Structure 1
Amino acid sequence: MARAWIAVASAEHVRIGRAQGFMQVCHGKSGPLRRTAAGDTVIYYSPAETMRGKDRLQAFTAIGTIVDRLPYQSEMAPGLLPWRRDVAWWTAAAMPIRPLLDQLAFTRAGNWGYQLRFGLFTIEPEDASRIAVAMQNGL
C-alpha cells in the first residue's frame, strides 16, 4: 500500500529537485530513501528559503509521486555523491503550514516541529490529501 511522506529541505533545494525530477533528504543519506517506495506520495516542507537560512518560510513547497526507480547516487560536485530518488512532481503552489495546523493529525499533537528534525517521516493519508488539495487549490 502506498504511503505518504513529509520530507524536509529548504525551498531553494526543493526547486532544484523539482527542476531535475528527484528528491534528496537528510543531506543525501540513502537509508531514509530506502524506506520509500514507488507510488508513495512525497510532500516537501521547507522551514526556510535557504539552507540554514534565517528567512523563515514554513510552507509545503512541492508534492509528487515517487517513480519506479530505486535510490541512486548522483555527483553534485567532485567527491559529493548524495543519494536521490526520482519523483514525478505535481503542479502545485507553495502553501503555508499555519492555516492547516489544526487540520492535520501530525501537527495537532504537541510540538509538531520536533518530528521535522528527522528529515523524512510518514503521515496519515488524510493529511496528505488535505495538503494536496490546499497546494493545488491555493487554499
Structure 2
Amino acid sequence: MTASTRYWIAVASAEHVALGRTLGFMQVCHGKVAPLRRLLPGDRVIYYSPTASFAGKDRLQAFTAVGTVHEGQPYQVEMTATFNPWRRNVDWIESREVLIRPLLDRLSFTQGGGSWGYKFRFGLFEIVERDANIITSAMSLNYKPSAGFTGE
C-alpha cells in the first residue's frame, strides 16, 4: 500500500458481506453515502461481522472479508421501491474468516478492557496500518497460526 493508503473496518452481517464479495461491492451504515465518501481508491477495507445473518442472534464476531477500494465514486442502487442504498466497488481478495477474540490483545483499537466492541457500533471506522496487517495476515489462506491461536 502507498503512504497515503488508509485502513478501515466496516461492519455488516456475514450474509451481507458474502453478497458484496460475490458482486464486488461494499455497503455500510444501512446504505448511507456519507461514510463511503471517506474512502478513497486504494484504501484497504476489512469487514467485521458481529452476526452471521442480518438482525440475527447468531453471534459470529469474526473478520469476514478484506479488499481494496476500487477506482470510482459511491453509487446508488435500487433494491426495493423504498430502499436505495449507496455502494462502493471493492476488489476483494481470497481470504478466510477469522474470529476476533484471539486477536483482541494484539489490535490497538481493541486493547484495554471489556468494551472492545464499542467502536464497531459506528459501522465504519479507520484503523492503523499495523492493525490492518495483523488482521489481513490472519485472514490469509497461507497463514500458519502460532500455538494457542484459535481464530480459525
Give the TM-score category using the shorter length. over 0.9
Deviation for aligned residue 1:52:
1.4
Deviation for aligned residue 1:78:
2.4
Query: What code does the residue aligned with 2:116 have?
Result: W
Which of 12, 22, 30 does residue 33 from structure 2 map onto?
30
1:49 aligns with 2:44: no
1:64 aligns with 2:62: no
CA–CA distance in structure 2, aligned partners of residues 124 and 67 of structure 1: 20
Indicate the structure (1 or 2) with the bigger Cα radius of gyration. 2
Which of 123, 127, 130 does residue 123 from structure 1 map onto?
127
List structure 1 runs of 4+ shifted beyond 4 angstroms.
Answer: none
Equivalent residue number for residue 6 of structure 1: 9
Which of 126, 131, 138 does residue 134 from structure 1 map onto?
138
Higher helix share: 1
1:94 aligns with 2:119: no
* C-alpha distance after superposition, 1:21-44 (max 9, x if no partner): 000000000000001100000000
Deviation for aligned residue 1:13:
0.3
What is the RMSD of the two structures over their aligned residues, measured on CA atoms? 1.0
TM-score, normalised with respect to structure 2: 0.89
Query: What code does the residue aligned with 2:78 have?
Result: E
- Identical positions, percent: 58
Equivalent residue number for residue 77 of structure 1: 80
Deviation for aligned residue 1:138:
6.1
Deviation for aligned residue 1:79:
3.1
* C-alpha distance after superposition, 1:84-137 (max 9, x if no partner): 000000110000001100000001033221110000000010000000000002
Gaps (5+ residues) in structure 1?
Answer: none
CA–CA distance in structure 2, aligned partners of residues 117 and 22 of structure 1: 21
Which of 101, 108, 113 does residue 111 from structure 2 map onto?
108
TM-score, normalised with respect to structure 1: 0.97
Secondary structure of the residue aligned to 1:102 is: coil
Gaps (5+ residues) in structure 2?
Answer: 146-152
